[in-house]
Chains A and B, each alone.
Chain A
Amino acid sequence: MTPGADLARRGGRPSIAVALGSGGARGIAHVAVLETLDELGIRPTAIAGTSMGAVIGAAYAAGIEARAIRSHVLKVLRNRSNVMGKLLRARVGRFADLVLRGRGNPVLLDPEIFLELFWPAGVPNSFEELAIQTIVVATNYSLRNEAVFQSGSLTAAVAGSMAIPGLFRPVDCDGDLLIDGGAVNPLPYDHLFDLADIVIAVDVTFGGRSRRRRAPTPLESMFGAAQIMQGAITAQKVKRRPPDILIRPRVEQFGLLDFFRASHILRAAEASKDEMREAISSRLAATARA
């Protein structure tokens, strides 16, 4: 137990840490979970995030209220023309000239420029400037293992964490290449057990049934396979040692890149709010009694 957790316990209220998982557009649902914490007056002592979970978790850890993150997300995604303009800026230099055009051959985006364009104002450059202790999980592609960041450049870590192969260019970090943290640890709650009394994990990879009859394109099937593997990793982790509270917002009908359905995703996650509130309150009461 860390001193911080002890302190919180001495204050009479158990400390809470939150892990936000990967899942692309589905991860917009994390905002609804953070709103619930704000509504309950709970300030987490630590946050861990992978991929989209890191993008939203870092903004929250910067001290931006969940409601403000929600309105930022909706505002940014309201106008497709603005998004298109930003994607053009974020595209990786001359890469497109080297590959075959069209035919599902993707153009890579630079995740660091992407964050610069899409993050709300007020997210700092380094972990040290965050208001809440934060852990970001990426995959070290060069060493083929998990890379856990909690100090130094925040943008590089989060950019690496979200660098989904085929969509984003890998991020160079001190000579090693980082890719999507979902490849090794899609729901990084295991890094929080020593940091708080209660560990909440938010899983958005859970469930989903493809209703589409037609065969997926090669790229779609690669994204789909990666998502299924992430769900399987999470299932194994939960079997070994579950978090204290596991939240699964009902967003299974949304795809990895359904960003333009942000308001629908938030509405779907809204339905889980009561359940979340109840789970957190009863666990808080139980922990306080213990």
Chain B
Amino acid sequence: MGATAVSAHAANQWKARMNVLILGSGGREHALARACARSPAIGKLMVAPGNPGCAQVAETHPVDLGDHGQILALCRRHAIDLVVVGPEAPLVAGLADDLARQGVACFGPSAAAARLEGSKGFAKDFCREFGVPTADYRRFRSGVEAKAYLRERGAPIVVKADGLAAGKGVVVAETVEEAEKAVDALLPAGSTPGAEVVIEEVLEGEEVSFFALCDGSVAAPFASAQDHKRVGEGDTGPNTGGMGAYSPASIMTPEMTERVMREIVTPTVEGMARRGTPFRGVLFVGLMIGRDGPKVIEFNVRFGDPETEAILERLSDDLPPWLAACAAGTLPQGSPAFRPEAALTVVMAARGYPGEPMKGSRILGLDEAGRVPGVVVLHAGTRQAGEAIVADGGRVLAVTAIGRTVGEAQERAYRAIQRIEWPEGFCRKDIGWRAVARETELGS
């Protein structure tokens, strides 16, 4: 609430309206655009490349995210004050560094700090150096040595590719054979020099996504969520970018949040500063909450998708000043305010996903779905074709609902989905099932 008032005040009195450019084209970026669009601190709001959902609340502009020159030119042309980077790839490629050289503020870390996500090996070594709790691990460049280690440790065991793999470079192997196959796939004989795998112990407990805002020297807790990675109901089938999520995660009590901040987030932010690579942006920590407390599964250096869709629906504070403070290194004490309600996002994907999705099918009933109380239909892989909205990617829609409980949010989200006419699409029918089961248990 503080920031809402301060930015209304700042915008009106200090005339400090910012021109903001959001980069990306998914449901996450549509959610970010909505959160920015309702802020009094915003002058011009652009999303590039964006999608038809973003175009409802912001100006969209085609851009190749790999071409930093194009992005810089866009910033100059529209007097952009702050760039908010959605996906990780531009950050790992050094976009924040290029923007800094041009005097444009950027919400998102430098290439050096983005290695927390860009290199699993770096992240593991970093945790070891700064005493951040994580699974026991070893790094290998040789397939032969990796397999020898696998046989010594036995299964179940985790095999990870070192670089960015869009969520698909992690194998939780139930048997040694499966693990060896993963090593062969990630480190084929005669593979590129520098290729590397990380082998680590399987952590027991409950998985949760935790987000903290960081300004290079301090961090503020933002929000928690739980997501559903597998494509099939009952958490079966291959991994995806995420089929749904809900927020908050009930396991993240105020005490656990405080502990995660103290044991994981603060040492990480301080460690990165001490290494001379301060982390600015959102630190997305994949956590396992087990019997001996929280441990890091992985770091990400950007907002999660679809977690962000659920989280931002709950945000009652004004987002842009917080993003600006992260970029400027001026985070205040305290943290943004959230509504006490729960939010839940169900991803609707095109048939074929996570393999080759069907493109071009027509989607009807979006307006009707959006009229369910508490529901917003966020666009991800959609395209405007004349008057119609058609599927144009794997994950196509992120139907998000808010409710007093996860159960109510879930009921609303699925009620909205029933109004969407799209035979070529599908979704999981059980998003939030664990949380709902827990609520039911508590209620009875």
A contacts, CB < 8 Å to B: 78-89, 91, 93-97, 99, 101-102, 104-107, 117, 167, 219, 257-260
Contact = CB atoms under 8 A, between A and B. Distances in A.
B105 A79 contact: yes
A286 B391 CA distance: 83
B16 A107 contact: no
Given A91-B332, A96-B2, A81 B324 contact: yes
Nearest to B320: A84
A122 B131 CA distance: 37
A101 B4 CA distance: 8
B330 A107 contact: no
Contacts of B332: 88-89, 91
A102 B331 CA distance: 22
Contact of A85 (B1, B2, B325): B325
19 contacts: A79-B105, A80-B82, A81-B105, A82-B81, A82-B324, A84-B7, A85-B324, A85-B325, A85-B326, A87-B6, A88-B321, A88-B325, A94-B2, A96-B5, A97-B1, A106-B5, A107-B6, A257-B13, A260-B14
A71 to B, nearest CB: 13
A107 B18 contact: no
B392 to A, nearest CB: 32
A64 B297 CA distance: 50
A93 B333 CA distance: 8
Contacts of B41: 84
Most buried by B among A86, A87, A102: A87
Contact of B104 (A79, A86, A93): A79
B13 A82 contact: no
Contacts of B81: 79-82, 84
A80 B320 CA distance: 11
Given A82-B327, A85-B329, 11 more contacts: A78-B103, A83-B14, A84-B321, A84-B325, A88-B324, A88-B325, A88-B330, A91-B3, A93-B333, A96-B3, A102-B8
A104 B321 CA distance: 18
B12 interface: yes
B322 interface: yes
A28 to B, nearest CB: 14
B4 A87 contact: no
B328 A167 contact: no
Contacts of B333: 93
Interface string B61-72: 000000000000
B344 to A, nearest CB: 27
Given A107-B2, A117-B330, A84 B10 contact: yes
Contacts of B9: 106-107
B103 to A, nearest CB: 6
B226 to A, nearest CB: 29
Given A80-B81, A96-B1, A106 B330 contact: no
Contacts of A85: 105, 321, 324-330
B359 interface: no
Contacts of A102: 4-5, 8, 40
Interface of B: 1-10, 12-20, 40-41, 43, 81-82, 103-105, 320-322, 324-333
A102 B2 CA distance: 10
A84 B324 contact: yes
B322 to A, nearest CB: 7
| Shortest Cβ-Cβ A-B pairs, 7 listed | A85-B328, A81-B82, A85-B325, A89-B330, A85-B324, A81-B81, A81-B105
Nearest to A89: B330
Contacts of A259: 14-15
Nearest to A78: B103
A85 B8 CA distance: 14
A105 B332 CA distance: 21
Contacts of A89: 325, 330-332
A91 B2 contact: yes
A82 B2 contact: no
Contacts of A97: 1-2
A162 B19 CA distance: 28
A167 B6 CA distance: 11
Contacts of A99: 5
A99 B8 CA distance: 13
B15 A101 contact: no
B18 A84 contact: yes
Contacts of A91: 2-3, 6, 332
A82 B1 contact: no
Given A88-B321, A102-B4, A81 B327 contact: yes
B339 to A, nearest CB: 14
Contacts of A95: 2
Contacts of A79: 81, 103-105
Contacts of A94: 2
B328 A106 contact: no
Contacts of A81: 18, 20, 81-82, 105, 324, 327-328
Nearest to B106: A81
A257 B14 contact: yes
A84 to B, nearest CB: 4
A133 B82 CA distance: 41
Contacts of B4: 96, 101-102
A79 B328 CA distance: 10
B104 A88 contact: no
Contact of B330 (A86, A104, A219): A86
B109 to A, nearest CB: 16
Contacts of A88: 3, 6-7, 321-322, 324-325, 330-332
A104 B12 contact: yes
Nearest to B10: A87
Most buried by B among A80, A101, A107, A259: A80
A102 B115 CA distance: 41
B15 A257 contact: yes
Contacts of B43: 80
Contacts of B328: 81-82, 84-86
Contacts of B325: 84-86, 88-89
Most buried by A among B8, B320, B326: B8
